[in-house]
Amino acid sequence: MIARIGDQLVVEGNHVGDARRVGVITDVRHADGTPPYQVRWLDNGQEAFVYPGPEARVEPAGTAPE
């Protein structure tokens, strides 16, 4: 997984009824764009240090998550 600042991190729920979470990547810790990422979640505005799992994907800046 490769990301840049401004990209969106989309995390799908693992269980039936889990909500999808979308956040904006505000910091990339490695020059090659690999995790972890600092993410500001759009649903509550909180920031978190994230190591995305297999249920996550990166959407380039300027595109809407599917």
Does the structure show a pLDDT above 70 at 64? no
Cis, peptide link before residue 36, omega less than 30° from 0: yes
Residue 51, domain member (yes or no): yes
Residue 36, domain member (yes or no): yes
* pLDDT tens digits for range 5-57: 999 999 997 777 778 899 999 999 999 999 999 999 999 999 999 999 999 99
Angle at 36 between CA 31 and CA 37, to 5 degrees: 85
DSSP string, the chain: ----TT-EEEE--SSTTPPPEEEEEEEESSTT-PSPEEEEETTT--EEEE---TTEEEE-TT----
Between 57 and 61, the more confident residue is: 57
pLDDT at 27: 97
Residue 47, domain member (yes or no): yes
CB 2 within 8 A of CB 56: no
Residue 3, domain member (yes or no): no
The whole domain housing 39 covers 8-59
Q: pTM for this structure?
A: 0.86
Q: How many domains does the chain have?
A: 1
Residue 21, domain member (yes or no): yes
pLDDT at 65: 60
pLDDT at 66: 60
Residue 66, domain member (yes or no): no
